[in-house]
Amino acid sequence: MGISNFLANTMYSLYYTIEMTSDLVQITIKSYDQTVDQYVENVSPQLMNQWHEKFMELLPKNGRILDLGCGFGRDVEIFAEHGFESHGIDLSSNMIARAKAEVLDGKFLVQDIRDPGYEDSYFDGLWARASLLHIPKAEIANTLQKWSKLINNKGILFLNIKKGSGEGLESDTRYQGQEKFWSYFSETEIIDFLQAAGFNILEKKTKASDEKYNAFPFLCFLCQAQ
């Protein structure tokens, strides 16, 4: 194969991968856009008080937090109530509209968590609750690298993802079979990604599945940027 043909095939493969990934993300976002009310009803009672407290204790007073995949803004509101400058981004425009209407002390943008678009070292803490799990594994390393640049030296990241293996589109029976893309991770797999991006693991815990909402266990991590 000539060099020109090799480069052409490589560029086509890259283009196809990007297009396929974009389609998967858009399918997921459409699902959230169409189920805002039901999502709010289901998720509002599911507080993470222990992790909220541990996360906030490690941040400077009145520090700046970005919620990556903020949904309707519930966690942004919690951080704002504790005196933090609280920002939230999400690709679901309907979720962001709900957040802006209900969380007046938060700052919200329709933005991709894979490329948040803020200047380097802008935040003291990043909160990523059940959001990275919607990103294809081929993009996890690059996404975490960008996140590591968002927070200042020794900044804090909270992250939780579904425990398991594989990735793909699935019907979400909790929302009338709406399709969503999910990635599943082993503990070793996600730790390798985090450490490669420059995050040290401060604390980790597995949250068991439940019959009401989460059919899979979640891996929870509190991390610090190197």
Q: What pLDDT, on a 0 to 100 scale, did the predictor assign at position 12?
A: 32
**pLDDT score of 10:** 32
| Predicted pLDDT of residue 21 | 64
In the predicted structure, residue 14 carries a pLDDT above the cut 80: no
pLDDT at 48: 79
Does the global pTM surpass 0.95? no
- Per the prediction, the chain carries an average pLDDT of 90
State the CATH number of the domain containing residue 94. 3.40.50.150
The single residue listed with the structure tokens 């009803």 is 41
Tens of pLDDT, residue by residue over 120-142, are 999 999 999 999 999 999 999 99
Is residue 73 predicted with pLDDT exceeding 60? yes
Does the pLDDT of residue 47 top 90, yes or no?
Answer: no
CA-wise closest residue to 182 among 194, 159, 193, 166: 166
Question: For 48-63, how does the pLDDT look when each residue is reduced to its tens digit (9 = 90+)?
Answer: 789 999 999 999 999 9
Q: What is the share, in percent, of the chain residues with pLDDT greater than 70?
A: 89
With bands split at pLDDT 50, 70 and 90, how would you rate the model's confidence at 211?
low
CA atoms within 13 A on the CB side of 86: 22
CA neighbor of 67 nearest in space, from 30, 42, 96: 96
Please say if the pLDDT value at position 6 is more than 80.
Answer: no
Q: Which residue has the tokens 């803020």?
A: 118
Amino acid in position 122: Y
Q: Which residues of 109-134 are buried (b: 16+ CB within 10 A; e: fewer)?
A: eebbbbebebeeeebbbbbbbbbbbb
Pairing of strands 151-162, 64-68: unpaired
**How many structural domains compose the chain?**
1
Of 80-84, 132-136, 160-164, 209-213, which gets the smallest average pLDDT? 209-213
Domain span at residue 188 reads 3-225
pLDDT at 11 over 90: no
* Residue (of 134, 138, 196) closest to 161 by Cα position: 134
Nearest to 59 by CA among 124, 129, 126, 150: 124
Look at residue 224 and tell me whether its pLDDT is greater than 70.
Answer: yes
Write the CA distances from 91 to 114, 175, 211, integer angstroms: 10, 18, 28
- The reported pLDDT for the residue numbered 66 is 98
Angle in degrees, 0-180, between the axes of helices 3-33 and 93-102, rounded to the nearest 10: 40
- Band of pLDDT at residue 208, cut at 50, 70 and 90: confident
Name the residue with higher pLDDT: 76 or 212.
76
3-state secondary structure at position 141: helix
| CA–CA separation, 36 and 80 (whole Å) | 22
pLDDT at 206 over 50: yes
Q: Of the candidates 223, 217, 214, 179, which has an alpha carbon nearest to the alpha carbon of residue 43? A: 214
Nearest to 70 by CA among 55, 86, 54, 82: 86
φ/ψ of 11, rounded to 5, equals -65, -40
pLDDT digits (tens, 9 = 90+) for 140-173: 999 999 999 999 999 999 999 999 999 999 999 9
The reported pLDDT for the residue numbered 19 is: 47
